[in-house]
Amino acid sequence: MKLNKLAAIISAGISCAYLTQCTSVHQMATFGTKTIDNEAALQDTKPPTNGVYTYPVTRIHQDSTDYFLSGEYGRSADHVRSEGEFGDSSAYPRPDDGVSRYFGEKIVDKFRWLENVDDMNKDYTQETDEDRDRNLIGSLLENDVKDGLFDNRTRKDLQTVKPKQSSEVNDWVNAQNEVTNQYFDANPIYEQVKNNINALMSYRYSYRKENKDGVGSLELYRHEDGYIRLELTDTDGNKRTLFNERELSEDGNTVLPWPDIYVSDKGSYVAYVTAPGNNDTDTRGRTDLHVIDIKTGEAAIEPIQNADNNSIIWLDDKSFLYIQGSQIKRHEVGSKKWVDPIEVTWGEIDGAGPTDMWYSDDETRRYLVIEAYKKAPTSFIKDTKTNKVYRIHSEKFFNDFFYHAPDYTHAPLASLVHFDDKTLDVYFISGEKNIKGDIFKMNLNNPKKREIVVAIPDEYDETLEAIYHPEAGGHFLIKYLKDGAHKLILTDTTGKIVKDLTPDIPGNADDLTSYVAEDDNKDGDKKAKDKEVADEDDQTPDESYVSFRFNAIIKPRTVYKYSPSKGEFIDVRRRDLIPFDENLYESKQILYTSKDGTKVPMNINYKKGIKLDGKNPTVLYGYGGFGATENLAFHKSKAAWLEHGGVWATAFIRGGSEYGHTWHKDGRLLNKMNVFDDFAAAADYLAQSGYADSNHLAISGASNGGLLVGASMVLHPEKFRVAIPAAGVLDMLRYNDNFHTQYWAGEYGLPYDSVAQYKLLKSYSPYHNVKAGVCYPSTLVMTSKRDDRVTPSHSYKFVAALQDKQVCANPTFLYAAEQFGHWANTYQEQKNDYSLFTSFALNEMNIKHVPDLTHRHDADFYKTDKWREEEAKEHAKQIKKLQQRIDKLNETKDK
């Protein structure tokens, strides 16, 4: 599915209207009694065509009002220190002449009118006409009726009713989408690529199975059609669907964003969390916690809004703990209390935001372990008997390193490794002595005494995660970071290396778990509550082991189980049975040299037997910002690219945290140009090594990675054949006027901070560096009309500038999705995105034929012999149970 077809008359009508406006020799902007010369209107434009494609005509005169600060996105919280007459933030909407002024320099912004985006959702506030007339705050929602059991007449969040906006921008976007649709209709490989990707992604995936005595088995799984279902198989073997994700809303856009279920102690109820959209801030972007009666399938509570999905703990068969914002609350099924009691307050955990929780012992439930985020991951332990909360991180370390540090400062604060609720010993990872992270030990009876038990070896870049395993004298399974890839090392309790358990491929590991058969792991460690564990039946009850999940760009998620006592892996099996044959591909991790001599890691994946002749269709991917470590996880879009004969390269450029805090600092603020230099050097390496010349290289990135792509293609257009920036930050001189972008200022800097910062932002801002007479790569700019993290106007303006200035036949298209926010919301939308991405890049590299990949192996092909034997035994056991029931029924009938 591409975008819905629009009537051709829309495009024609818009073009006519815009042509009238574009022919004006001089435009005047008025605001009240004040008249402003609109310099943006004096800029010349050429017909919107590159000789091959005709785009919707884009007007260039500026409106009289700066809608960016008065439209749906609201006024930015960090809009301070502006210069000139526009510095008074109390007067919005404000007059605008289409010109920005910085340190005596004027920047004419002739496409600024595209910032006047339409409302993302027409029923955003559900206000009545009376509400609009009164500009009422907090009115009862229209159409909400008290049903007798629950007073669900909830009030709107505190917001004023927004003025109606014109549909001019939306009409322009729709016309752009129509041109994009026409391109894909004519794309000779689009349909086959779409069918191939559909075959790759249309398989059954089980997220969780849980058995309850007297109730049956619950399974949460994604059906072949892409929608998640919760299915109950009762004790008689009858199956019943408790919910189908497709039916959670009329439009099918309400999803389980992090699929998981939480079953009450006796199996009477099951809880799960949904999100009706992927927006950050609008009401369609909130999460809702649901509880349904397993017996009836009906709702047992009114949905709890803005509940966190990461952890729900059932205390018995009727009450549970959940995270909401910065608090942990308790809810009881059937309670008519309007406000749930708070179990852990914001103040008890130093103002940190809880992210996960569990009891060290599910039977005694005395110690509640809380993982939280306070500029970095940290941990707390609450003694529910005394109500005392223990802080695990060093307050001095936090104050010295984090308190005045900018957002996204990267260092381990206090990541829990192990808590023994009998001795009260706590093991955790902290950077208080070495910023790369050591494993410490402390005791709750004397929290100030902290000692290093495992110091990070010099060869590794960071300690990411660890667990304690008590078998055979005790071991730690530690996950380290090395050149962007994960290393898994088993040590004794002194840190002496016992064995390197890392699979022989660069990748990512998660869900480190210790399983001790004799005591069922009641040792205070985080339980194996893996949010994607299908069931616990694959655990071997008579053996103890450590386990981890591992995946790579060419390796679907696989579970490894290792027995320290035997000194060997006792089981290795695919967790994800996606029909992708990992044995056909290779992956390697290399270091290349950037412009200033810095060594930068890069991961390269390709089909075995590749010819290094420079003709391989290649995607270079990156992010480079906010201290985010690039990951090597398996991803369906990358798998699809590889299956179509491509090479996928991921560059671990500066701005991330692959080498810790310094790597991030070297790619932010006045050091930002290092990011783009690193990316350009990665492209040079791929060309020099024979993977792809400039005619076979595409660049891709999203969000901050969209900025990376946009900047790279305008700074080095000759290096790339295709550019696909998604949800990108593309106007670096106006980004800070968007809603809630104050978090970005510490990363990018503001154009009015200093002359140096302004000049740097201007030098790489994609929108401001599109020049006439330059041949830019074929470009597909992807965004969403409802993206309220990076407003889609960034993409709109960039497309308008490229279409205005492009000198060669390489096309520029806009794909603006209707429903999702900063990323694809539903599984179907993901399929669509991957199909557009793959077919566009390949077609623009002059690849006009792709193989038919719709005939694939079934799931059984990817299972091990041991797995098949276990399934056969389980099947025989179920048949035996069924026969026993039949025999019992026959006996009853005979009597």
**Are 525 and 419 in contact, with CB atoms under 8 Å apart?**
yes
**Are 477 and 500 in contact, with CB atoms under 8 Å apart?**
no
- Evaluated on CA atoms 10, 16, 17, 21, the torsion sign reads positive
* Angstrom distance (rounded) from CA 603 to CA 621: 10
* Angstrom distance (rounded) from CA 40 to CA 109: 6
Nearest 10 degrees: CA dihedral of 511, 514, 519, 523?
-80
Roughly what angle, to the nearest 10 degrees, separates helices 793-805 and 168-186? 60
* Angstrom distance (rounded) from CA 692 to CA 686: 6
* Angstrom distance (rounded) from CA 68 to CA 82: 15
Active site residues: 703, 787, 822
- Evaluated on CA atoms 292, 297, 300, 304, the torsion sign reads positive
* Angstrom distance (rounded) from CA 26 to CA 604: 53
> Minimal CA–CA distance to 96: which of 119, 133, 66?
66
**CA contacts within 13 A on the Cβ side of 846:** 7
* Angstrom distance (rounded) from CA 122 to CA 454: 56
Roughly what angle, to the nearest 10 degrees, separates helices 827-844 and 168-186? 60
Other CB atoms within 10 A of residue 648 CB: 24
* Angstrom distance (rounded) from CA 839 to CA 187: 8
Q: Which residues pair with 600 in a beta bridge?
A: 592
The string of DSSP letters for 520-573 reads TT-SSSPPS--TT---STTS-TT--EEEEEEEETTEEEEEEEEETTTTEEEEEE
Class of residue 264 by CB neighbours under 10 A (exposed 0-12, middle 13-18, buried 19+): buried
Residue 40 CB contacts under 8 Å (≥ 6 apart), including other chains: 27, 60, 61, 62, 97, 98, 99, 108, 109, 110, 112
